Amino acid sequence: MTTIKTKYNRRSFLTASAAAGGGMMLGFSWLASCTPAEEASAMLTMPDEWFEINAFLKIGDNGVVTIYSPNPEIGQNVKTSMPMIVAEELDVDWKNVLVEQAPLNTVKYQRQIAGGSQSIRAGWDSLRMAGATARHMLIAAAATQWEVPAAEVTTEAGIIKHEASGKSLGYGDVASAAAGLEVPEEVPLKERKDYKLIGTNVKNVDGPKIVTGDPLFGLDVKKEGMLIAMIVHPPAFGMKVKSIDDTAVRSMAGVRDVFTFSTYPEGIEKTWSDANAFPELVAVVGESTWQVMKAKKALQVEWETTSKAENTEEHKSAFEKLLNGKMEVARRDGNPEAAFRNAAEIIERTYSAPFLAHNTMEPMNFFADVREDGAELIGPIQTPENMRKTVAQSLGMEEDKVSVMMSRMGGGFGRRLYGHFGIEAAVISQKAKAPVKLVYTREDDMTQGTYRPAYMVTYRAALDENKNLTAIHIKGTGIGGSPVFENRYPAGAVENYLVERATYESNISTGAWRAPRSNFIAGAEQSFLDEVAEVMGQDPIEFRLALFEKAMNNPVGEKNDYDAERYAGVLKLIKEKAGWGSEKPGISRGVSAYYCHNSYVAQVVDLSMKENQPVIEKVWAAVDCGIVINPDAACNIMEGGAIDGIGHAMYSAMTFKDGIPQQENFDSYRLIRHREAPLAFETFFVENDIHPTGLGEPGLPPVSGALANAWYKATGERKYHQPFIEDEKVLG
């Protein structure tokens, strides 16, 4: 039997208490605002009392269970899948479950972050423990009441049973008694074969609210006395505010205040989440969004230059210079120099990609109500704990006086790891002495920075006279660092291996963008491997599998950050499922496989050309992410990841002239649209008992490689530089 020590997260239980009156209000607000499927609201009648069993759940006296989802929801669907794990171990019917977003609480919860595709992986133990412990305590309460041994008591979908006596009770009947019990030291966990909920398709818990337009997002927050705030930031990287002339603006309708401010006072301790190109801003505060927008446009600001104004063209030539100069060695196996000297043939290709903006559909925003005795913040943030740390320091308050509530987010993609907008909202609220909602315009959002860095990488392969691969040499550079992971495949599979890196420092700020580094390097690597396979006269899949064989049986080097068997496994699965080698006439196929965020993904892209335009007929995916919690939702995120990867590789770029972003809205920044999306998807999951790993990011990186490889088959043209399509005008 699998057991879990409850000590793992014992702090979750410190607040366990009987009778929590606040629960009634939560139940009420759900019923009042939810107008979907009648059967659901008819079934979930409001309980008279809730009992908080632990930090993750409370049970109503009528058996309705509320499960708190600890992590921020950015569209990766953890608000559904995390509570599913609790409900599985609690053994409750999902129809009787309500889900609430938990606020930031570092005492009760761990790692309340949406990032690195880690929510499910990192939460797996604590979520199971929360459900299993509660079930154990409910059983104990019933056993005491019935005066029978707990070992004879079982549960089924929220009902507690004692078979010998024929007695049964609902969870709600003993919730009060259970909440007062001592927390057990250790509890048994279900075996995988006994799962009833995990592995079934459960619909998004916020679905009914999303399709009816209920308030869910940060931008939807409205509070008594709330003002709207906007910021004005410098038009170019390398500039700052010199002075403002607000005389005209102050007399405009609805304008309450205009001032310059520093987001971070001197000497405070920042975290990595505080990356921010523009710490000094102008705030415009007023009564309504449109009035403030107009005032913001009318504001006269004088800027001054603080550092070099950069250009996209200069970045390209700087990257080329770095790649041809002396670089830092990140990994060396064997004698790559000798292998290249003795090579019968050398294949060398260079790949590049531009800066990208995150472009979450919901622009950056945050609500802050700062008073003398504390601050309340509500909004879209992937790193609430880091935000609270900096907000407290910026306001000169103790951290325990600052509360942060995460709203559902209109997209994250890494952008909301960097919470300067929350700090800004807090500082503005403090200065304006009013609750404010800070709203970024799309232009503010797109030109503020924190971009996916621009990258360039050169791959070289050495072949001997028999066309055997003898060495690989990779040189990578980019804004703020190289995109190459030196210990990932094909490292470990090639005798002579050299990875070199160089950094280009820029004043254009960069940050994590869905699957950092991988989002570029996977496509470059997988395109290159196809070229090598072609020169060697090998099938692309067989070539990759042979490298995995080598990495499995006779690995090169000590440190190889992947499991070659699982890696090969997804390739074999996609080969079988897609019927590799037997595609229909008119279809050109490309394959790709990549490992990141602890998960393995292989993809096949089926492409046809219609009127000289690529049509993506289908994307096939094979995924090994361990146990799949919610299969249809997992398919959804895989589809979205592939579309994200295809769209950005094909169409998107952020460029600079004299430090000024050349794209500032969707009329100049092209994103993939309906008609360019793949026509079909099919996703297959490897079945195993491995604990679940990431899904939010791994679907994106490999697809640009499969796309480039299919494109080559269709047209004979290799694509090396993103975006692949640059000439079409953007139209909305």
Partner 1 sequence: MANFDLSINQKKHQIDVDPDTPMLWVLRDHIDLVGTKYGCGIAQCGACTIHVDGVATRSCSLPVSAAVGKEITTIEGLSEKGDHPLQKAWLEHDVPQCGYCQAGQIMNAASLLKTNPNPSDADIDAAMHGNICRCGTYPRIKAAIKTAAASK
Closest approach of partner 1 to the CB of residue 156, in Å: 27
Only one residue has tokens 């670089």, namely 327
Site for partner 1 in 111-130 (CB under 8 A): none
Site for partner 1 in 188-207 (CB under 8 A): 201, 203-204, 206-207
681 touches partner 1 (CB under 8 A): yes
Which residue, 104 or 292, is less far from partner 1 as judged by CB?
Answer: 292
Site for partner 1 in 38-97 (CB under 8 A): 38, 74-77
Only one residue has tokens 């992590």, namely 71
Q: Determine whether 20 is exposed, middle or buried from the number of CB atoms within 10 Å of its CB (0-12, 13-18, 19+).
A: middle
Stretch that binds partner 1, among 332-340, 530-538, 641-649, 653-661 (CB under 8 A): 641-649
Closest approach of partner 1 to the CB of residue 649, in Å: 13
User: What letter represents residue 242's amino acid?
Assistant: K
Closest approach of partner 1 to the CB of residue 443, in Å: 8
Q: Which of 625, 637, 686, 706 binds partner 1 (CB under 8 A)?
A: 637
Which residue, 336 or 641, is less far from partner 1 as judged by CB?
Answer: 641
- Cα dihedral 295/297/230/247 (nearest 10): -40
Site for partner 1 in 352-411 (CB under 8 A): 359-363, 408-411
The whole-angstrom distance between residue 220's C-alpha and the CA centroid of its chain comes to 22
Which residue, 537 or 732, is less far from partner 1 as judged by CB?
Answer: 732
694: nearest Cα among 62, 22, 121: 121
36 touches partner 1 (CB under 8 A): yes
| Rounded Cα distance, 547 and 569, in Å | 13
Which residue, 14 or 680, is less far from partner 1 as judged by CB?
Answer: 680
647 touches partner 1 (CB under 8 A): yes
Q: Which of 199, 279, 631, 640 binds partner 1 (CB under 8 A)?
A: 640
DSSP class of residue 408 equals: B
Contacts of 641 (CB under 8 A, 6+ apart): 514, 696, 697, 698, 699, 700, 703
Which residue, 219 or 529, is less far from partner 1 as judged by CB?
Answer: 219
Q: Which of 642, 653, 707, 708 binds partner 1 (CB under 8 A)?
A: 642
Q: Which of 210, 248, 329, 609 binds partner 1 (CB under 8 A)?
A: 210
Stretch that binds partner 1, among 127-135, 232-240, 420-428, 632-640 (CB under 8 A): 632-640
What is the full DSSP assignment across 422-480? HHHHHHHHHHHTS-EEEE--HHHHHHS--BBPPEEEEEEEEE-TT--EEEEEEEEEEET
User: What letter represents residue 539's amino acid?
Assistant: D
Q: What is the CA radius of gyration of the chain?
A: 28
Closest approach of partner 1 to the CB of residue 347, in Å: 33
Site for partner 1 in 275-304 (CB under 8 A): 288-291, 293-294
Closest approach of partner 1 to the CB of residue 221, in Å: 9
149 touches partner 1 (CB under 8 A): no
Which residue, 199 or 640, is less far from partner 1 as judged by CB?
Answer: 640
Which residue, 626 or 699, is less far from partner 1 as judged by CB?
Answer: 699
Site for partner 1 in 430-459 (CB under 8 A): 439, 441-442
What are the Cα distances from residue 681, in Å, to 23, 594, 646, 730? 42, 18, 13, 26
Q: What are phi and psi of 357, to 5 degrees?
A: -90, 155
**Residue 468 contacts residue 390 (beta carbons within 8 Å):** no
Question: Which residues are bridge partners to 17 per DSSP?
Answer: 52
Which residue, 211 or 329, is less far from partner 1 as judged by CB?
Answer: 211
Site for partner 1 in 4-23 (CB under 8 A): none
Q: Which of 125, 152, 314, 632 binds partner 1 (CB under 8 A)?
A: 632
Stretch that binds partner 1, among 176-184, 239-247, 569-577, 636-644 (CB under 8 A): 636-644
Site for partner 1 in 455-474 (CB under 8 A): none
Closest approach of partner 1 to the CB of residue 672, in Å: 7
Buried b (16+ CB within 10 A) or exposed e, 690-710: eebbbbbbbbbbbbbbbbbbb
**Residue 382 contacts residue 72 (beta carbons within 8 Å):** yes
Ordered strands of the 496-504 beta sheet:
328-333, 496-504, 469-479, 455-463, 345-353
Closest approach of partner 1 to the CB of residue 578, in Å: 17
Residues in the interface with partner 1 (CB under 8 A) total: 73
Closest approach of partner 1 to the CB of residue 57, in Å: 24
Which residue, 663 or 693, is less far from partner 1 as judged by CB?
Answer: 663
Closest approach of partner 1 to the CB of residue 61, in Å: 29
What are the Cα distances from residue 254, in Å, to 221, 291, 395, 435, 538? 19, 6, 26, 16, 69
Only one residue has tokens 């090169």, namely 556
For the record, the structure tokens of 565 come out as: 């068997």
| Rounded Cα distance, 154 and 168, in Å | 9
For the record, the structure tokens of 326 come out as: 């002396």
Which residue, 410 or 490, is less far from partner 1 as judged by CB?
Answer: 410
Q: Phi/psi zone of residue 537: left (φ > 0), alpha (ψ -120 to 50 degrees), beta?
A: left
Site for partner 1 in 212-231 (CB under 8 A): 212-217, 219-220, 222, 228
Which residue, 246 or 445, is less far from partner 1 as judged by CB?
Answer: 445
Which residue, 206 or 534, is less far from partner 1 as judged by CB?
Answer: 206
